[in-house]
Amino acid sequence: MVKVHGTCEDQFQGVKSLLEKCIDDGKESGASIFVNIDGKDVVDLWGGHADDARTRPWTKDTIVNIWSTTKAVTSLAALVCIDRGLLDPYEKVATYWPEFATNGKQDIQVRHLLSHASGLSGWTEKVTSEDVCDLEKNTRLLEEQEPWWAPGTAIGYHALTMGPLVGGLVARVAGKSLGRFIREELAEPLGADFQLGAREEDWGRVADIIPPPAMSPSNVPEGFQDPTSVMFRTMMNPLLDATFANTKLWRGAEIGAGNGHSNACGVARMLSPISLDGTVNGVKFLSPKTVDLVFEEQHKSRDLVIGQVLRLGIGFGLPGKDTWIDWLPEGRICTWGGWGGSIVVMDLDRKMTVSYVMNKMEHSSMSDDRTKDYIQAVYKAVDAK
């Protein structure tokens, strides 16, 4: 059995054993899992390898691209701006970003960007993976285009566009880029090992992304067969190769929807203000009233991009019966995950933050069997106490 490093309280030995088994079975290459309850670290585990050749061990300081789990941090940045009175979730985006009010976007509200309801889930103009890394260009394209549906009437996962949209708002009201805001206002005060992108001096500790296996025709969602569908237009423009995350260009970019680099500890530290009702170690990041916004249900409907029923609050996914996130307990719980399996769960009822990151990807996010098994093992341990 492979050795997993770190610490965990006795009641969480089942979580440790599961991680060991997944690495030993080859379901994982390298991964880390972290749980904090009411300010106390009760699980801090890591193991495996940081590369597919298994020549580099995954260490305590290993970080990895976490794909769309990044969106949870981007949403938190927007919530901090809301808490400071810089943004109003029910105000029009154009109030803060006048250039945005073109081609039918004049009535899009801030909350629409944070709940994937703006109608801007992708770019109308053809873009490349390199364009995704060009924040100025991809933001300008979104400023100029029309929504693909009437804003606020439906949801469609803003897979890559959430970064320039929400990041553009944060930059305009806070006077600093999203990356700088996250570093100065969140990561540094929280003592979190988290970067939007990855500094070149840290590339030596970045785990290589191992792409998911090729999809078979039987596993391709129906919408991918229709070039006119919102699903196709969003996910196929561009069609990202997961190994692009290993390039200098990706690591050097600011992609608020998908290129956060961290480990499970860093992700949990970043999102702990939600779980702890706004205040961490005596420092107030959010008021309880702002935290409540997360749980103001914006939509419960079938997402036009993912093809699954999602229940969305402001900035985060909410568990719910007959939804894609029906495997989490009910209550004041919110979550978001990334392509390949990474996830963060904020449970206000238990004052708990749970995070998991890895480098060996599966096709799904938030519904990956590994992800669900780890999170449910945590809940089994907590609720048995």
Choose between 77 and 222: higher pLDDT: 77
Which residues does 279 contact at the CB level (< 8 Å), separation at least 6?
273, 285, 286
Averaged pLDDT of the chain: 96
Q: Which domains does the chain have, with CATH numbers?
A: 4-383 (3.40.710.10)
Q: What are phi and psi of 275, to 5 degrees?
A: -60, -35
Mean pLDDT of 73-91: 98
List for the chain the helix, strand, coil content (%; round to 5): 35, 20, 45
Predicted local distance difference test score (pLDDT) of residue 217 = 60
Alpha-carbon gap, residue 111 to 93, rounded angstroms: 9
Predicted local distance difference test score (pLDDT) of residue 244 = 98
Predicted local distance difference test score (pLDDT) of residue 363 = 81
Residue 218 pLDDT exceeds 60: no
Alpha-carbon gap, residue 155 to 119, rounded angstroms: 8
**Model confidence pLDDT, tens digit, residues 138-197:** 999 999 999 999 999 999 999 999 999 999 999 999 999 999 999 999 999 999 999 999
**Model confidence pLDDT, tens digit, residues 306-361:** 999 999 999 999 999 999 999 999 999 999 999 999 999 999 999 999 999 999 99
Retrieve residue 196's tokens. Answer: 């939007």
Q: What are phi and psi of 94, to 5 degrees?
A: -65, -20
Alpha-carbon gap, residue 273 to 73, rounded angstroms: 11
Number of Cβ atoms within 10 Å of the Cβ of 385:
8
Identify whether the C-beta of residue 350 lies closer than 8 Å to the C-beta of residue 37.
yes
Identify whether the C-beta of residue 363 lies closer than 8 Å to the C-beta of residue 210.
no
Predicted local distance difference test score (pLDDT) of residue 1 = 66
**Model confidence pLDDT, tens digit, residues 47-74:** 999 999 999 999 999 999 999 999 999 9
DSSP label of 11: G
**Model confidence pLDDT, tens digit, residues 13-34:** 999 999 999 999 999 999 999 9
Predicted local distance difference test score (pLDDT) of residue 347 = 98
Predicted local distance difference test score (pLDDT) of residue 284 = 98
Place of tokens 């480990």: 263
pTM for the model? 0.97
Helix (H) or strand (E) holding 371: helix 369-383
Residue 269 pLDDT exceeds 80: yes
